[in-house]
């Protein structure tokens, strides 16, 4: 696994791509999933990081 592996929300299928980040929620591009703030949630369905799975 690399720092820039994409992670998928197991609830809604949203994919977090570290090379894109989540600009709408203040996450800049090139932010590895592991470095997302603990309060970050799936921007599509609001689920917590814990339910994401490595693709």
Contacts with Zn ion by CB under 5 A lie at 9, 11-12, 14, 42, 44-45, 47
What is the closest distance, in whole angstroms, from the C-beta atom of residue 51 to Zn ion in the complex? 8
27/17 Cα distance (integer angstroms)? 11
What is the closest distance, in whole angstroms, from the C-beta atom of residue 25 to Zn ion in the complex? 13
What is the closest distance, in whole angstroms, from the C-beta atom of residue 16 to Zn ion in the complex? 9
- What distances in angstroms separate CA 47 from CA 1, 16, 43, 52, 53, one per listed residue? 23, 13, 8, 9, 12
Q: Is the CB of 7 or the CB of 31 nearer to Zn ion?
A: 7
């Amino acid at each position: 696994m690399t720092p820039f592996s994409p992670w998928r929300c197991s609830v809604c299928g949203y994919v977090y791509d570290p090379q894109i980040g989540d600009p709408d929620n203040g996450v800049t591009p090139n932010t590895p999933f592991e470095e997302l703030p603990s309060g970050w949630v799936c921007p599509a369905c609001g689920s917590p990081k814990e339910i994401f799975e490595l693709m």
